[in-house]
Chains A and B, each alone.
Chain A
Amino acid sequence: MRSQYAIKQLSVFLENRKGRLKELTETLYQAGVNIRALALAESAEFGILRLVVDNPEKARSVLSSAGFTVKEQDVFAVEVEDKPGGFYQVVKILSEADINVDYTYAFVGGGERAVLIFKVPDEDLERAMEILSAGGIKLVEPLFFYGA
């Protein structure tokens, strides 16, 4: 399932320094890369920006050349109804299977469906996709992010 549903997420190390986020987004903009979803994790001194973009290879290469430290990781996305309990359903299935969620964030697309991105430990990724799929949760194919 990994080959079919895994989505390439880029994590970028950022010092909490003025203007750094602007430089990053500017680099992507100039390369014509579209940011489809993002989340920022921060400590007092530094942060990690997580990105799902329409062209991960290109984004990675332009960010690296611009001096950013980038790590590529596999995540997956699910589509749930945009109403109470949609998120809970997913987390419940994972938790019952003893799979830890490293973090999760949302793709803001509009409409009555919500798309959520999940990062789980890499060794659990395959299993997480399988049990969610078996539990009737709809996994989102990468094309949804890359193609648009």
Chain B
Amino acid sequence: MRPNAKDYLSREEFEALQLRRLRETLGRVYHLVPFYREKFDQAGVRPDDLTSLEDLKRFPFTVKQDLRDHYPFGLLAVPMEQVVRIHSSSGTTGKPTVVAYTEHDMRVWTEVMMRTMLMAGVGPGDVVHNAYGYGLFTGGLGFHYGAEALGAAVVPSSVGFTKRQLMLMRDFGATILCCTPSYALHLAEVAQEEGLDPRKDFKLRAGFFGAEPASEGLRRAVAEAWGIKYFEAYGLSEIIGPGVAASCEYGELHIFEDHFYPEIIDPETGEVLPEGQEGELVFTTLTKQALPLIRYRTRDISRLYREPCRCGRTIIRMGRVVGRSDDMLIVSGVNVFPSQVEHVLTKVEGLTPNYVIVVDKKGVLDVLEVWVEVDERIFTGDLGTLENLKHKLEEELANHLFLRARVKLVEPKTLERSMGKAKRVIDRRELEEKLGR
């Protein structure tokens, strides 16, 4: 069987598979992990209560803090003898999070990474230059195992030493690049500084980029700088690492839903939202043994689409991650994310100027303003150009946010001067509430 055969199951086949795996997972965590038993008991649900996929909404969520609270191995569902790999995130806020894999989990991870890289038809003859970090971070080893299993030659270059990386990419004839999108752009820039033409002097044909949010402008810049096809790899280490979802040749992100069951919820109320609506992405692992997670809140804002894709795959699709639920602003009842504003700025100007989003209240109405710094990259010395820019931005923002936003062009450093530090969002409504009290 081809490793990506599951990308093409019928809806009924997916649902039957998911229901069977979900019941099995719920039963396992309830009996093996005290944390889940307590939570299920508190919520008054038992694994047997799940008779259809919709019933999952009755089960409690898991959040990142739960992983921290049970550092290091409190959420494991297998004895330590079965664990063959441990990864960990750097703990910038508090304790790190730890994820563990059994031999079976490693096979699942390798499979989804193969399916990711099959989006570009990676196989024998390909030279995969893997510049994701090797080590505790899941990126490097995730791609490594997937590429190797497909019979490609892997160059485990990891991060850093950019000039040496370029030399190896050139000398070894790399055809596939794996790294963060910003590093891919940096590599291209350094290549140019070295007098090389990234489009002509290299053999790259595609790349798998992820591990950080990337605006439309950045994606385009990477694809154009190298003259390659851009594939997105979406994942998070808590769920498995890279390999949770991958984009196909049409740029549509497919979630490997036979292993990771997705839901979209309202981040405020926790309610499951209908298909196509925007909300927070939640995953339940269906096959993981060492660290199964039930309704894990990713904080990523996206949408789900079940109708088959142009590429022929029937496996569910998710929209681009438009923001993090932690950053979400509600303006006049409309959800607004700083990343949407950034997307528009990048699209209109071809660059990302400094900006700040200011939300205020005029009477009972919310007012949204976007302050954009006029720096030397934007300023042509011409008044009309600036006025056009302002109007164009306002028009595009209205199209993207479904909300009127006023654009204010400001002098550089104004933002820092009036806000004290680099901050993307100023919500003056909160301030007024506090002062009013």
User: Measuring CB to CB, which residues of chain A are less than 8 angstroms from any residue of chain B?
Assistant: 11, 13-15, 20, 41-43, 45-48, 67-71, 73, 102
Further pairs besides A41-B383, A67-B413, A71-B379: 8, Cβ < 8 Å: A14-B411, A43-B387, A45-B408, A45-B409, A48-B382, A67-B411, A68-B411, A102-B382
Cβ distance B360 to chain A, nearest Cβ, rounded Å: 16
Partner among B375, B376, B386, B412 whose Cβ is within 8 Å of the Cβ of A46: B386
| A contact residues around B412 at 8 Å (CB) | 67, 69
A14 contacts across to B, CB distance below 8 A: 411
Contact B376 A71 (CB under 8 A): yes
11 A-B contacts (beta carbon < 8 Å)? A15-B411, A43-B387, A45-B409, A48-B381, A48-B382, A67-B411, A69-B376, A69-B412, A70-B376, A71-B379, A71-B381
- Chain B nearest CB from A32 CB (Å) reads 24
Closest-by-CB residue of A relative to B377 is A69
Which residues of A lie under 8 Å from residue B414 when comparing CB positions?
A: 15
A80 to chain B, nearest CB (A): 25
**B380 proximity list for chain A (CB < 8 A):** 71
The answer to whether B383 touches A43, judged by C-beta atoms less than 8 angstroms apart, is yes
Within 8 A of A (CB), among B379-393: 379-383, 386-387
Q: Of all chain B residues, which has the CB nearest A71?
A: B381
Q: Cβ of A13 and Cβ of B387 under 8 Å apart?
A: no
Residues of B within 8 Å of A70, CB to CB, are 376
Residues in B62-119 with C-beta less than 8 Å from chain A: none
Query: Roughly how many angstroms separate A14 CA and B383 CA in the complex, as a whole number?
Result: 11
What is the bound-complex CA distance between A53 and B232, given in angstroms? 52
A71 to B383, CA, bound (A): 12
Cβ distance A61 to chain B, nearest Cβ, rounded Å: 13
Q: How far is the CA of A47 from the CA of B386 in the complex (A)?
A: 10
B374 at the interface (CB under 8 A from A): yes
Q: If A69-B376, A70-B376 touch, does A13 touch B411 (CB 8 Å cutoff)? A: yes
A130 to B276, CA, bound (A): 63
Q: Within the assembled complex, what's the spacing in Å between the Cα atoms of A20 and B417?
A: 14
Query: Which residue of the partner chain B has the closest CB to A68?
Result: B411
Cross-chain contact of B381 among A15, A20, A47, A73 (Cβ < 8 A): A73
Q: Is the interface of A mostly helix, strand, loop or mixed?
A: strand
Report chain B residues within 8 Å CB of A68. 411
User: How far does the alpha carbon of A31 sit from the alpha carbon of B189 in the complex, in Å?
Assistant: 38
B411-429 interface (Cβ within 8 A of A): 411-414
Which A residues touch B411, using CB under 8 A? Answer: 13-15, 20, 67-69
* A residues less than 8 Å from B409 (CB atoms): 13, 15, 45-46
**Chain B residues whose C-beta falls within 8 Å of the C-beta of A45 in the assembled complex:** 408-409
Q: Is B196 positioned at the interface, with any CB of A under 8 Å from its CB?
A: no
Size class of B's contact patch?
10 to 19
Q: Are A11 and B381 in contact (CB under 8 A)?
A: yes
Is B410 interfacial (CB-CB < 8 Å)?
Answer: yes
Residue of B nearest to A102 (CB): B382
Q: Give CA–CA (A46, B374) in the complex, Å.
A: 11
Q: How far is the CB of B216 from chain A (nearest CB, A)?
A: 26
**Shortest CB distance A76–B (Å):** 15
Q: Interface 1/0s, chain B 389-410, versus A by CB < 8 A? A: 0000000000000000000111
Give bound CA distance, A47 to B410, whole Å: 10
B374 touches A69 (CB 8 A): yes
Min Cβ gap B378→A in Å is 8
Contacts of B382 in A (CB 8 A): 11, 48, 102
Q: Whose C-beta in chain B lies nearest to the C-beta of A42?
A: B383
For residue A28, give the distance in angstroms from its CB to the closest CB of chain B: 16
B387: chain A residues within 8 A (beta carbon):
43
Please indicate the chain A residues that have their CB under 8 angstroms from the CB of B381 in the complex: 11, 48, 71, 73
Contacts of A48 in B (CB 8 A): 381-383, 386
Tell me if A15 and B410 are in contact (CB < 8 A): yes
Closest 9 CB pairs of A and B: A11-B381, A71-B381, A67-B413, A41-B383, A69-B379, A13-B374, A73-B381, A15-B411, A71-B379
* Complex Cα spacing A45 to B408, Å: 8
Q: Specify which of B374, B381, B408, B412 lies most central, judged by the most chain A CB atoms within 10 Å of its CB.
A: B381
Q: Give the interface centre of A13, A46, A102 by most chain B CB atoms within 10 Å.
A: A13
Name B245-277 residues within 8 Å CB distance of A.
Answer: none
Instruction: Determine the distance from Cα of A6 to Cα of B412 in the docked complex, in whole angstroms.
Output: 29
B318-375 residues at the A interface, CB under 8 angstroms: 374-375
**Across-interface contacts of B408 in A (CB, < 8 A):** 45
User: In the docked arrangement, what's the CA distance between A11 and B409, Å?
Assistant: 16
A69 to B380, CA, bound (A): 10
Interfacial chain A residues near B379, Cβ < 8 Å:
11, 13, 69, 71
Provide the bound-state CA to CA distance between A42 and B379, in Å: 15
- Which residues of B sit under 8 angstroms from A47, Cβ to Cβ? 383
Distance A39 CA – B384 CA, assembled complex (angstroms): 16
Q: State the CA gap A57–B376 with chains docked (Å).
A: 16
Shortest CB-to-CB span from A33 to chain B, Å, is 19
Q: How far is the CA of A140 from the CA of B216 in the complex (A)?
A: 49
Q: Which residue of B lies closest to A10 (CB)?
A: B381
Q: In whole angstroms, what is the CA distance A47 to B384 when docked?
A: 11
A69 contact set on B, CB distance < 8 A: 374-376, 379, 411-412
